[in-house]
A and B are shown apart, each in its own frame.
Chain A
Amino acid sequence: MDIKYINPFIGGLLHVSNMLGFGGMQRTGISKRDKLQTDHDVNIIIGLVGGLRGNIVFSMHEATACNIASTMMGGMPVSQFDMLPRSALCEMANMIAGNSVSNLEQMGSLVDITPPTLVSGKNMVSLISQVETLVVQFNAKEGAVELNIAIED
Chain B
Amino acid sequence: MSTSHIAPFIKCSVNILKDMLGLEVKSGATENEGDAFTSRGFSVIVGFTGGWKGRFFLDMSGETAMQIASILTGEDYSSVADEEVLLSGAEIGNIISGNAITDINNSQPGLNLRLTPPSVFAGDSLSMFNVRLNSSSVLIDTSAGAIKINVAVEEGKK
| Chain A contact residues, CB within 8 Å of chain B | 36-37, 43, 45-50, 53-55, 57, 83, 86-87, 90-91, 94, 112-131, 150, 152
Whether a CB of chain A sits under 8 angstroms from the CB of B141 is no
B126 in contact with A121 (CB, 8 Å): yes
Where the two chains meet, the residues of B that have a C-beta atom closer than 8 Å to any C-beta of A are: 36, 39, 43, 45-50, 53-55, 80-81, 83, 86-87, 90, 114-133, 152, 154
**Can you name 21 A-B residue pairings with CB atoms under 8 Å?**
A36-B83, A43-B121, A47-B46, A49-B48, A49-B114, A53-B117, A55-B47, A57-B119, A90-B131, A115-B47, A115-B55, A117-B128, A118-B129, A119-B121, A120-B126, A121-B124, A127-B87, A128-B119, A130-B87, A130-B117, A150-B117
A43–B43 Cα distance when bound, in Å, is: 13
Residues on the B chain within 8 Å of A91, using CB: 131
A117 touching B55, Cβ below 8 Å = yes
Q: CB-nearest residue of chain A relative to B120?
A: A127
Point out the residue from B50, B123, B133 that lies within 8 Å of A124, measured CB to CB. Answer: B123
Q: How far is the CA of A112 from the CA of B49 in the complex (A)?
A: 7
A119 touches B53 (CB 8 A): no
Contact yes or no, B118 A120, CB < 8 A: no
Q: How far is the CA of A112 from the CA of B54 in the complex (A)?
A: 12
Q: Is the CB of A115 within 8 A of B119?
A: no
Let me know if A122 and B127 touch, CB within 8 A. no
Closest 4 CB pairs of A and B: A47-B116, A47-B47, A114-B47, A124-B123
CB distance from B152 to the nearest CB of A (A): 8
A53/B86 contact (C-beta < 8 A), A114-B47, A117-B128, A121-B121 known: no
Neighbouring A residues of B43 by C-beta, 8 Å: 119
- Per a CB cutoff under 8 Å, which of A54, A90, A125 touches B116? A54
Note all chain A residues with C-beta closer than 8 A to B36.
83
How many Å lie between the Cα of A46 and that of B47 in the bound state? Answer: 8
Name the B residues within 8 Å of A36 (CB-CB).
81, 83, 86
A57 CA to B133 CA, complexed, in Å: 19
User: Which one of A37, A115, A123, A124 contacts B53 once the chains associate, using CB atoms below 8 Å?
Assistant: A115
A91 to B114, CA, bound (A): 23
User: Are A124's CB and B130's CB within 8 A?
Assistant: no
Chain B contacts of A87 at CB under 8 A?
A: 129, 131
Q: Which residues of B contact A128 (CB under 8 A)?
A: 119
Chain A residue, CB-CB nearest to B80: A125
Instruction: State whether B119 touches A121 (Cβ < 8 A).
Output: no
CB atoms of A126 and B120 under 8 A apart: yes
- Is the Cβ of B120 less than 8 Å from the Cβ of A119? no
Q: A112-B49, A125-B121 are in contact. Are A119 and B90 (CB under 8 A)?
A: no
> How far in angstroms is the closest Cβ of chain A from B67?
17
CB pair B124 A122 closer than 8 Å: yes
